[in-house]
Amino acid sequence: MAHAAAPVVTRDEEVRRAYAADASGLVLVPDGVARPTSADEVAALLAEASSAGTPVTAAGGQTSTTAASISDRGILLSLRAMPRIIDVDPVARVARVEPGVLVGELKRACAAHDLLLAPDPTSEEECTVGGAVACNASGARSLRYGATRPHVRALRVALADGSIVELRRTALEKNTVGYALAHDPVDWFVGSEGTLGVIVEVELGLLPLPERVVGLAIPFATEPAALRFVVAARDSRAVYPRCIEFFDVLALAIAREAEGSRDWAMGAQAFVYVEDVPPPGIDSALDEWLALAESHDALVDDVRVYDGETALREARRVRHSVPARMNERGAARRAHGGRKVSTDWAVPYGSLAPMIARARALADEARVPQAVTYGHAGNGHPHQNFIAHDADELGRIEQVVEATLREVIALGGTVAAEHGIGKLKRKWLPLQMSPLQVRTMQAVKRELDPAGILAPGNVL
C-alpha cells in the first residue's frame, strides 16, 4: 500500500482547461488535475479515489487521437511530473524509466550507448513512454521491430485499490500452466489504455544501433504503381526494409511544403519512403532498391536518398509534418462542429491496394472530400485523414468510415492497429470482437478495477 500522501488535486479552471484536449479534436474538462511526482503518490491517490468512487484518467503527453487521455469525469492524473530515466544498462541492454519521460528523449539517451529503443511512434517527441506502453504504440519501424509490446520487459503498476505490483516477463520457452491469457500479466497492461492500472515504471529491452541506415523517398506516377511496389518490397529477399511508408498525392503536397521543395517529383501522384537496414556484415542494398523501383515504374530520376543521422532526422520531420498539419486543419474547424477524422485500420498487406481503392469509392459515393492517405503501408496500415468542416459533414464522414471498417473486417483486418480504441472508436469495437471476447475483457476489468474508477469511457 502507499507510503506517501496523495498529491494535491487542483481545481483551478485554467489548469483543468490545460489538460482538457488531446489530438482527438474533442475537449473534455476534468473536475480536477493531479500531478504526482512518485509512484507512492500515484498509489495514494488511487486508494483515496477508490474509496470515494472518484474516476481517475491517466495521461502522458496527451497525443491520443481517440480522446483516451481526456475526461470530464473526475481526476485527470498527469504523469508528466515523473520524467526520470532511472537507468540505461548497456550490458544488459535495458532501460528503466518513469512513465513521464518522452519517447524521443529516451531514444537519444539510449543512442548515446549505441543502443536502439525500437518503438517509434511519429509523435515520439511529444508522447511519453507510459502512454506508448498503455497504447501499445507502433511506428514506421514496427515493420521490422514490432510494436511496443515485445520490448516491454517489466512494469510497475499502481492498481485501482492503491497497491503496487511488479510484473516481469518470464524467460520460459514452454509453459502449459493455466490459460494463456493469464500467462504474462505484463501483457494485461500493455495496450490497456489506462483502464486496468496506472503504469509507474517501465523496463524496456534495447537493440544494438544499426551500423548504417539509408532512407529513400521513391516517387511514382500513379498510386497503383506505388502500392504494387509496396508489396514487392515486402516480398523481396534482396532488400532489407525496416519501414515501408506510403504517401498519396495530398500527403505528397504537405511533404513537399514541409521540405521546402515545392517542385520535387512534379510528375508524381504518390511516393513511398523506405529505410534500408541490412543485417550485420551485409552491404547496403541501395542498387537493389533502385532496380526494384525501376521495375515498378518509379520516377527514378527523382528518388531522394537520406544517408546519415541528420538526413534521416529530416526525413522523420517531413513524415511527421503530415499528421501534424492535418491536426491543425482539423483544429481550425472545431468552432464549426468539425474536426479531423483519422482512420487507423489495417488489412493484410496484400489487400492494401484494393482496400484503399474501395475506401476512396465509398467516400466518393457519399460525396465526402477524399482523405489525405498515408502511413505504414508495409504493414497494410494506412491512415486516412478526413477533415470534417462542420457537424453535418462529420456525420457523413463517420458513416463512410464505418462502411470502410466493415469491409476492412471482411478482409481479415483491424479497426485500430495502433491508436487504440479510446472513447472515439468504442462504437466500432463490436465490429471486430465477439460478445464473448468483450465479456471476457469486462470480467478482467471488474477484477482489477471493481469500482470502475479507471479511465471510464475508454475501450469498454
Ligand X SMILES: Cc1cc2nc3c(=O)[nH]c(=O)nc-3n(C[C@H](O)[C@H](O)[C@H](O)COP(=O)(O)OP(=O)(O)OC[C@H]3O[C@@H](n4cnc5c(N)ncnc54)[C@H](O)[C@@H]3O)c2cc1C
219 binds ligand X (CB under 6 A): no
- Grid cell for residue 370: 477524399
Q: List binders of ligand X among 34-63 (CB under 6 A).
A: 57-63
Q: Which of 135, 190, 285, 352 binds ligand X (CB under 6 A)?
A: 135
Q: Which of 69, 343, 379, 404 binds ligand X (CB under 6 A)?
A: 69
Question: Measured from the CB of residue 135, what is the shortest distance to ligand X in angstroms?
Answer: 4
Question: Measured from the CB of residue 340, what is the shortest distance to ligand X in angstroms?
Answer: 10
- The CB-nearest residue to ligand X is 131
128 binds ligand X (CB under 6 A): yes
130 binds ligand X (CB under 6 A): yes
Contact call for residues 301 and 333 (beta carbons, < 8 A): no
448 binds ligand X (CB under 6 A): no
Q: Count the residues of the shown chain that bind ligand X, applying the rule CB under 6 A.
A: 39
Of the two residues 69 and 351, which places its CB atom closer to ligand X in the complex? 69
Q: Which of 20, 21, 22, 270 binds ligand X (CB under 6 A)?
A: 22
Q: Supply angle C-alpha 137, 432, 228, rounded to 5.
A: 65
* Distance from C-alpha of 130 to C-alpha of 11, rounded to nearest angstrom: 24
- Grid cell for residue 246: 506510403
Q: List binders of ligand X among 342-401 (CB under 6 A).
A: none
Question: Measured from the CB of residue 391, what is the shortest distance to ligand X in angstroms?
Answer: 22
* DSSP β-ladder status, 198-205 and 214-220: unpaired
Least Cα distance to 120 among 146, 155, 96, 92 occurs for 146
99 binds ligand X (CB under 6 A): yes
Q: Which of 138, 321, 351, 404 binds ligand X (CB under 6 A)?
A: 138
68 binds ligand X (CB under 6 A): yes
Of the two residues 159 and 230, which places its CB atom closer to ligand X in the complex? 159
275 binds ligand X (CB under 6 A): no
Of the two residues 158 and 206, which places its CB atom closer to ligand X in the complex? 158
Q: List binders of ligand X among 199-218 (CB under 6 A).
A: 199
Least Cα distance to 246 among 421, 380, 57 occurs for 380
Q: Which of 7, 25, 323, 378 binds ligand X (CB under 6 A)?
A: 323
Q: What is the DSSP letter of 221?
A: S
Non-local CB neighbours of 365 within 8 Å, separated by 6+ positions: none
Q: Residue type at 267?
A: G
- Grid cell for residue 376: 505504414
Site string for ligand X, 406-435 (x = CB under 6 A): ------------xx----------------
* Distance from C-alpha of 159 to C-alpha of 165, rounded to nearest angstrom: 7
Of the two residues 79 and 356, which places its CB atom closer to ligand X in the complex? 79
Exposed e or buried b for every residue in 120-142, given b needs 16+ CB within 10 A? bbbbbbbbbbbbbbbbbbbbbbb
338 binds ligand X (CB under 6 A): no
User: What does R_g of the chain's alpha carbons equal in angstroms?
Assistant: 22
* Distance from C-alpha of 381 to C-alpha of 348, rounded to nearest angstrom: 8
* DSSP β-ladder status, 75-78 and 32-34: parallel
* Distance from C-alpha of 376 to C-alpha of 427, rounded to nearest angstrom: 24
Exposed e or buried b for every residue in 218-254, given b needs 16+ CB within 10 A? bbbeebebbbebbbebbeeeebbbbbbbbbbbbbbeb
139 binds ligand X (CB under 6 A): yes
Question: Measured from the CB of residue 259, what is the shortest distance to ligand X in angstroms?
Answer: 17
Site string for ligand X, 163-202 (x = CB under 6 A): ------------------------------xx---xx---
Question: Measured from the CB of residue 178, what is the shortest distance to ligand X in angstroms?
Answer: 25
Question: Measured from the CB of residue 172, what is the shortest distance to ligand X in angstroms?
Answer: 26
Residues that bind ligand X (CB under 6 A): 22-23, 57-65, 68-69, 79, 99, 121-123, 127-128, 130-132, 134-135, 137-139, 193-194, 198-199, 323-324, 327, 418-419, 455, 458
